[in-house]
């Protein structure tokens, strides 16, 4: 009889654990996909700042192009030829050959140069033509644009500047953990958003209570609440391209409002220009590092890739859970951003968070001048620093 009860109880526990596993890890929280109307998208994009702010951006993993290979990549509303010479150096060129505009990504690598598939002109990583097989001289204007490239964190990074200016900051030393942490996985998605909306998220304190107050553990929201304590700081001088956002998320009992010990987590999010965010999660169940890259493909079209790392001591299931929680929160944000447009003069109240300060900070990434920057600077000038 006792054995029977033990067996039945074990079975029930097993079913409960399996159900929770499916609900948390398999079912997860899927992102809502919307069918987009191209004409409406144009209207929605109209008031946003320029689609391509200045900064370092990822084109993808270094492993996408091996020695002697060339691939075609979309970024900044155009196509790029990304190749790797026999010396291991990566070159990124505007894809159309200056001769008769063949697609250089269909060519091949010879030594350290890229050879056009049409008439075999050879191009160096700086975009200059090195050799024309059937001519003695190479004209001085035989060149395509060679992008400023560097490889960091296992990614191919390029510097984009709308006026063609040289890099004003470096990605060196931004994510030292990458050397020691274990790489877990990569995710990739294309979002119909403007990059700036993602940045404004950290300064928009009021939305946390309405968008991010639930856990992915089923039914948990009937018993517990998540309390966020938020702060954001903006870099100055040599660090002016960075900003730091912190979120202490504590769990409290719904009924009493009392803190549940050892249940919360802390996240520090560092913005490195408009193209990268690095999330550092520190929780009771382990640490996790998320390198989030944004590559603008066109107006309201952004490729977002996540590279997930954790210290070797963090359990895989803990990483899975933390990533599930983080992704669920992003999905809730994205559902809103993909249907909003941009107000240069939003109506803000006390408690909204330093949204206009964030806009003023972000405006350094645009060479162009527009309402989005003018109103942000004006608003920051008249409000105390820690207010709206």
Q: Interface with ligand FES by CB under 6 A: which residues? A: 97, 99-100, 102, 116, 118-119, 121
Residue 325 as a binder of Fe ion (CB under 5 A): the answer is: no
Residue 314 as a binder of Fe ion (CB under 5 A): the answer is: no
Choose the contact partner of 201 out of ligand FES, Fe ion, none; CB within 5 to 8 A by kind: Fe ion
Nearer to Fe ion, 124 or 192 (CB): 192
Residue 333 as a binder of Fe ion (CB under 5 A): the answer is: yes
DSSP per-residue codes, 110-154: ETTEEE-TTT--EE-TTSBEEE-TT-S---TT-B-PBPPEEEETT
Q: How far is the CB of 329 from Fe ion (least distance, A)?
A: 6
Choose the contact partner of 272 out of Fe ion, ligand FES, none; CB within 5 to 8 A by kind: none
- SS3 call for 243: strand
> Is the Cβ–Cβ distance between 372 and 362 less than 8 Å?
no
> Is the Cβ–Cβ distance between 65 and 156 less than 8 Å?
yes
Q: What is the spatial distance between Cα 326 and Cα 365, in angstroms, rounded to a whole number?
A: 27
Q: How far is the CB of 123 from ligand FES (least distance, A)?
A: 9
Q: What is the spatial distance between Cα 104 and Cα 97, in angstroms, rounded to a whole number?
A: 6
> Is the Cβ–Cβ distance between 232 and 243 less than 8 Å?
yes
Q: Identify the DSSP state of 207.
A: G
Nearer to Fe ion, 152 or 333 (CB): 333
Let me know if 294 is exposed, middle or buried by CB neighbors in 10 A (0-12, 13-18, 19+): buried
Q: How far is the CB of 144 from ligand FES (least distance, A)?
A: 9
Q: How far is the CB of 148 from ligand FES (least distance, A)?
A: 23
Q: How far is the CB of 207 from Fe ion (least distance, A)?
A: 6
Choose the contact partner of 314 out of Fe ion, ligand FES, none; CB within 5 to 8 A by kind: none
Choose the contact partner of 333 out of Fe ion, ligand FES, none; CB within 5 to 8 A by kind: Fe ion
Nearer to ligand FES, 41 or 94 (CB): 94
- The span from the first CA to the last CA of the chain, in angstroms, equals 68
Whole-Å CA distances, 272 to 89, 199, 228: 24, 11, 23
Interface of this chain with Fe ion, residues 194 to 213, rule: CB under 5 A: 201
Residue ranges in contact with Fe ion by CB under 5 A: 201, 333
């Amino acid at each position: 009889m006792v054995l029977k009860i033990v067996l039945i109880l074990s079975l029930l526990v097993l079913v409960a654990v399996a159900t929770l596993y499916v609900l948390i890890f398999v079912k997860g929280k899927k992102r809502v996909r919307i069918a987009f109307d191209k004409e409406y998208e144009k209207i929605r994009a109209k008031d946003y700042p320029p689609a391509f702010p200045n900064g370092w951006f990822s084109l993808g993993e270094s492993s996408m192009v091996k020695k002697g290979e060339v691939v075609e990549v979309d970024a900044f509303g155009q196509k790029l030829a990304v190749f790797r010479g026999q010396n291991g150096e990566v070159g990124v060129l505007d894809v159309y050959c200056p001769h008769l505009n063949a697609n250089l990504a269909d060519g091949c690598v010879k030594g350290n140069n890229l050879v056009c598939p049409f008439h075999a002109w050879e191009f160096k990583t700086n975009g200059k033509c090195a050799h024309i097989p059937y001519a003695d001289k190479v004209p001085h204007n035989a060149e395509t644009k060679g992008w400023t490239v560097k490889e960091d964190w296992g990614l191919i990074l390029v510097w984009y500047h709308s006026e063609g200016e040289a890099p004003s900051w470096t990605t060196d030393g931004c994510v030292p953990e990458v050397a020691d942490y274990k790489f877990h996985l990569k995710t990739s998605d294309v979002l119909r958003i403007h990059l700036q909306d993602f940045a404004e998220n950290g300064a928009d304190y009021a939305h946390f209570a309405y968008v991010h107050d639930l856990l992915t553990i089923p039914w948990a929201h009937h018993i517990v609440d998540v309390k966020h304590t938020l702060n954001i700081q903006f870099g100055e001088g040599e660090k002016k391209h960075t900003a730091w956002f912190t979120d202490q998320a504590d769990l409290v009992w719904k009924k009493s409002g009392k803190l549940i010990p050892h249940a919360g987590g802390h996240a520090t999010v560092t913005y490195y220009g408009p193209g990268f965010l690095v999330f550092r999660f520190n929780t009771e169940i382990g640490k996790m590092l998320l390198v989030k890259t944004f590559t603008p493909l066109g107006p309201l079209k952004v490729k977002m890739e996540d590279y997930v790392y954790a210290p070797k001591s963090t359990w895989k299931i803990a990483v899975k859970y933390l990533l599930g929680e983080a992704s669920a929160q992003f999905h809730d944000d994205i559902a809103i951003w993909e249907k909003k447009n941009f107000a240069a003069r939003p109506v803000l109240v006390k408690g909204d968070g330093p949204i206009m300060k964030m806009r003023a900070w972000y405006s350094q990434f645009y060479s162009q001048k527009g309402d989005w920057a003018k109103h942000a600077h004006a608003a920051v000038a008249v409000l105390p620093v820690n207010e709206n």
